[in-house]
Structure 1
């Protein structure tokens, strides 16, 4: 028993010595993820897109049309950067991506409004850029809706009605909208909460695949197996535990940035988020063993394991709701641990739901971990053989 325990620590400390001797390992396990984190932080630092450039064609050129332009330009999302003389000129500005949208105020704008006639103010948007287009539509509709209501109130008041009567006539039903969980409509809160863990799981998976696969590629399995005291559990866990510790430190930095510096609202303890992410790390390390045992060589291992982890975000349902996916895709969605993690994280941290509500996802973690643990038996045979091929 003492020999077996010594085997674990021999592998564990040997791996730390390897990490210290090879700065490239630290660069990959800490430097690269941190660089990507910084990149995401720079891209989504503002959180909300503001002052999106749009063009305007004012065919009326009256005080009322200029007032509408002023109100649209006052919206923090919109910014009139160009004034065009024709509709064709404005559409060309959109096609060349100089602006994201074009607003056209028709002739007789002021005259028709004063007569109580309906007026069409046209908005063109470049929907190739879906996020800016959606924000421009929302900002434009808000401003024009308020402007239209104000104009109708003035027309009704001119007919002898009081201000209250005019307002009730224009908007007899008042809608109150309450945005849950991300009321700030902050893209940093929405995207960073998934992109940072996605980067982490990719790093964990690729690192573990390389660690285990390179042992078999260079026929060093026998050396590791003997160093561990002929125990595959000590060989595996002694090998990956130093990296688990490194990734744990990276997780602390990630959680501190997301919920501390960035200020994402959280409805649970940060400890719960840390524990959940640590479970994700361990699950992916165990899943790496499964891919090692089903691969015939190092090249196919990298292709299968890397592809598996990189596809996780697409099938996680984070940017597209799972309920809208075809049945076949929903089934595929369940084979990625990251999908379980992202939903559990949303339920626990963002929505503040009890952990029991995320029990199916936690059970999913257990299934993935069990697959990895069961794969250790075949991994033991591979280590004893030395590598993918006999020496």
Structure 2
């Protein structure tokens, strides 16, 4: 009976803290800005950047010294492809190189003199395609259509050459190389970069909102807020105070994923239910980080100043910018300590790979360790930070 009464009291305290914080949140413009206005505005901007799904119309300088019908056909077909947008440089190679050095164009295509003549004579002239690899994938993507066009041109020219020589077209050697791309996410910005960006940015808003909410109970802002945590059963009241924001940010991410599917045509391969479960655990883990920043800093401004550094570290070591397996061991350790790493792994499993349920459960289990460890570390320190006096 004593246990049942204790559970009832704790449930009442949780509901009381939840209701009080919900009323405060609905009247706070700061929470509205952090909770949905700014995140959705950034989502719209990011969606505009990644709308095409992949890099398209990369500007490429063209120097055509042949000016033949065959070279014009090659350039016309390349320009009609989705990746390259050709810009003819009438001043020749020096001008094209200057544009590449100034990053006005990401590639340089050079068609040599006597290109058509050499092709029709059975020789194999060399068409050079250079791309600037200093700009991540931009230069590389401008070359994507060229290899296929060159192969198509070769298929068209070979029968002409054979007919001119009065000989049948020789059969090709029966040797083939097959390339298959598994989980082709990195080539599609909707499925990889945009998805990772909105998950990563969510952590920023969750941590800042958590610090802001907790700071209202600290001595410097206590007069402007009800003292939800200045009572017995700190842990239960803390859960009740943060629960509205857990629901808010979890709903926000699921809405953004819904918009990703509706507006950008993305397809979810796995379970939406497990994606929701992973999202909730991820938000709670981010709130735990916000709690740690709050209790181990002198004031909220010091805590805010550390958020940017932590978010930058999370992005760098989450495996989005740099593959985790390619990192040195200290960097891999940092990666495994970041909740973003486990969240992205779990969400990508469900979003792209139709992974089984145990994958989602494993991601949730790892993310659940963050609030548990944080509360054990923070319990006594939080009382001191809030100038706690039981009522």
* TM-score for the superposition, normalised by structure 1: 0.87
Corresponding residue for residue 119 of structure 2 = 113
Number of residue pairs the alignment of both structures matches = 382
Matched, 1:232 2:238: no
Corresponding residue for residue 262 of structure 2 = 260
Corresponding residue for residue 130 of structure 2 = 124
Query: What secondary structure is seen at the aligned counterpart in 1 of 2:218?
Result: helix
User: Deviation string for 1:165-186 (max 9, x for gaps)?
Assistant: x3x32x6434444434348943
Matched, 1:60 2:66: yes
Shift of 1:339: 0.3
Corresponding residue for residue 365 of structure 1 = 367
- 8 A contact 1:293–1:378 mirrored in 2: no
| CA distance 1:21–1:68, change in 2 (3 Å) | closer
Provide structure 1 residue ranges, at least 5 long, that are not aligned to the other structure. Answer: none
Corresponding residue for residue 55 of structure 2 = 49
- 8 A contact 1:251–1:278 mirrored in 2: no
Shift of 1:331: 1.1
| CA distance 1:226–1:4, change in 2 (3 Å) | farther
User: Deviation string for 1:68-105 (max 9, x for gaps)?
Assistant: 22222232222223242311122223234443222111
Corresponding residue for residue 74 of structure 1 = 80
- 8 A contact 1:7–1:227 mirrored in 2: no
- The separation in 2 between residues aligned to 1:101 and 1:297, in whole angstroms, is 51
- 8 A contact 1:288–1:372 mirrored in 2: no
- 8 A contact 1:206–1:305 mirrored in 2: yes
Query: What secondary structure is seen at the aligned counterpart in 2 of 1:215?
Result: coil
Provide structure 2 residue ranges, at least 5 long, that are not aligned to the other structure. Answer: 1-5
Query: What secondary structure is seen at the aligned counterpart in 2 of 1:123?
Result: strand
* TM-score for the superposition, normalised by structure 2: 0.87
User: Deviation string for 1:212-234 (max 9, x for gaps)?
Assistant: 2442251639x966766411113
| CA distance 1:291–1:98, change in 2 (3 Å) | closer
Shift of 1:32: 0.9
- 8 A contact 1:57–1:103 mirrored in 2: yes
Using the TM superposition, name which of 335-344 and 5-14 deviates more.
5-14
Corresponding residue for residue 198 of structure 2 = 196
Query: What secondary structure is seen at the aligned counterpart in 1 of 2:100?
Result: helix
- The separation in 1 between residues aligned to 2:67 and 2:228, in whole angstroms, is 86
Corresponding residue for residue 270 of structure 1 = 272
- The separation in 2 between residues aligned to 1:305 and 1:363, in whole angstroms, is 25
Corresponding residue for residue 91 of structure 2 = 85
User: Deviation string for 1:151-199 (max 9, x for gaps)?
Assistant: 3454345444434xx3x32x64344444343489432222111111111
Query: What secondary structure is seen at the aligned counterpart in 2 of 1:46?
Result: coil
